[in-house]
Amino acid sequence: MTSSKLVTLAARIERFPIAGSFTISRGAKTEAVTVVAEVNRGGLTGRGECVPYPRYGETPEATLAAIQAMQEAVAGGLTRETLQAAMPSGAARNALDCALMDLEAKAAGLRAWNLLGRPAPEERTTAYTISLATPEAMAAATTKAAHRPLLKIKLGGDGDPERIAAVRKAAPEAELIVDANEAWTEADLEANLAACAASGVTLVEQPLPAGRDEALARIKRPLAVCADESVHDRSSLAPLRERYDAVNIKLDKTGGLTEALAMADAARALGFEIMIGCMVASSLSMAPAMLVTPQARFVDLDGPLLLARDRDHGLRYDGSLVYPPDVSLWG
C-alpha cells in the first residue's frame, strides 16, 4: 500500500458548554460531551461527531474506545457498507459512519447528497427547545422564544397540563410539539394528551416508557404521537404501527446516516410521519442529519442553538431557519 492510500483513524472527546442548562425528565446538564471520529486518507479528512447517550448505557469513554478499536479495520479498507455489520447501532458507529461519508464525498469531489443520489437539503425551520421547569419558569423562557415559529416543549409528568397551558399562553402563535421523554404513565396518559390537544399541540413525543407503551394502541389519540426511545432503526418500525403516528430518527440511535436514510425510506413506506431529531451537540452532529430533512415533517436540529459556543464553520442559523452545511464543515 502506498502512502497516498494509507488510511488512519483518530478519535477524541470534545466538550461544549451549554448556555444555561438543559433539563428533561431524566435530569439536567450544563455541557454537551461529544466524541469525534476522523478518518484520513491521501491528505483528505472525513469527520463525524456523536453524542453517547446514558439512556442506552453509553459513556464518552466507552464510545471513544469502541471507535479506536476500529483502527485496524479502517486501515484495512472498511467502508460504510461493511461498517453496518462490523459495529452495532449507536453513537460510536454514527461518528464513524459520518466520517466515512464525509471522506467519500471529499474524495469524489461531490456533495454527500449528490454522491448518494438524494435530494439536496434546503433551509428548514427547526424546533427550538424549552427545557423542563415550573410552569412559571417555562412561560418566562417561552416568552423570550415566542417569535420562533416552532417550539419543542419538554414535559415531565406531574403538573404537565399546567406547564403546557402556561407555554401556550406565552406563545399564542407558535406551533407547539411536546416531548415527555417517557415520563407519563398509563394513568395520566389520556388526561395529558387531552391537555395538549386543548392547547393546540401538534405532536406529542414518547409519552410512555419504551417497552411499556401498549396503551397507545388501545386509546383514541386526539393528536399525533411520535416514537423516540421506542424506535431505533428499521427493525423496530413495524411493531409500532398501531401505537404511533410518527417516528423520531436520530443518527445517534440509528448508528449513522447510512441507516438513518434507509430508515426514513422504510418509515414513509409504512405510513409514519418523520421527525429528524438530535442530541445537544455541535453543528458537526447536525450536518449529516440535514440529508434527512427533505423527508421530514418536523425538523428538530437546534442543538447548536442551545450551546454557549459552536465549532468553527458551524451551520448557519437565521432565527429558526437552519441551512445545509458548507463543505468546510461536512459532506
pLDDT tens over the chain, length 331 residues: 334 579 999 999 999 999 876 766 566 678 899 999 999 999 999 999 999 999 899 999 999 999 999 999 999 999 999 999 999 999 999 999 999 999 999 999 999 999 999 999 999 999 999 999 999 999 999 999 999 999 999 999 899 999 999 999 999 999 999 999 999 999 999 999 999 999 999 999 999 999 999 999 999 999 999 999 999 999 999 999 999 999 999 999 999 999 999 999 999 999 999 999 999 999 999 999 999 999 999 999 999 999 999 999 999 999 999 999 999 999 9
Task: Confirm if 126 and 303 have CB atoms less than 8 A apart.
Answer: no
User: How many C-alpha atoms does 233 have within 13 Å on its Cβ side?
Assistant: 18
* C-alpha grid cell, residue 302: 437546534
Q: How much is the pTM?
A: 0.93
Active site residue 253: no
Domain ranges of the chain: 3-116, 124-322
Which DSSP letter does residue 307 get?
B
| Residue 178, beta-bridge partner list | 153, 204
pLDDT at site 47 = 98
Residue 240: helix, strand or coil by DSSP?
helix
pLDDT at site 24 = 67
Task: Confirm if 43 and 27 have CB atoms less than 8 A apart.
Answer: no
Q: How far is the C-alpha of 137 from the C-alpha of 142, rounded, in Å? A: 9
List b or e across 99-115, with b for residues whose CB sees 16 or more CB atoms inside 10 angstroms.
bbbbbbbbeeeebbbeb
Active site residue 154: yes
Q: How far is the C-alpha of 301 from the C-alpha of 278, rounded, in Å? A: 6
Q: How far is the C-alpha of 84 from the C-alpha of 5, rounded, in Å? A: 23
Longest dimension (CA), the chain: 66
Superfamily the domain 124-322 falls into: Enolase-like C-terminal domain (3.20.20.120)
Q: How far is the C-alpha of 289 from the C-alpha of 118, rounded, in Å? A: 13
pLDDT at site 15 = 97
Instruction: Kindly report the CATH number that applies to the domain delimited by 3-116.
Output: 3.30.390.10
User: How many C-alpha atoms does 304 have within 13 Å on its Cβ side?
Assistant: 25
Q: Which of 5, 29, 106, 250 is catalytic?
A: 250
**Which residue from 161, 170, 292, 74 is spatially nearest to 178, judged by alpha carbons?**
161
pLDDT at site 198 = 98
pLDDT at site 88 = 96
How far CA 237 is from CA of 71, 135, 203, 231, 243, in Å, comes to 32, 34, 18, 7, 11
**Which residue from 108, 21, 148, 98 is spatially nearest to 287, judged by alpha carbons?**
98
Q: How far is the C-alpha of 94 from the C-alpha of 285, rounded, in Å? A: 9
Q: Which of 152, 154, 169, 220 is catalytic?
A: 154
Judge whether 3-116 and 124-322 match in fold.
no
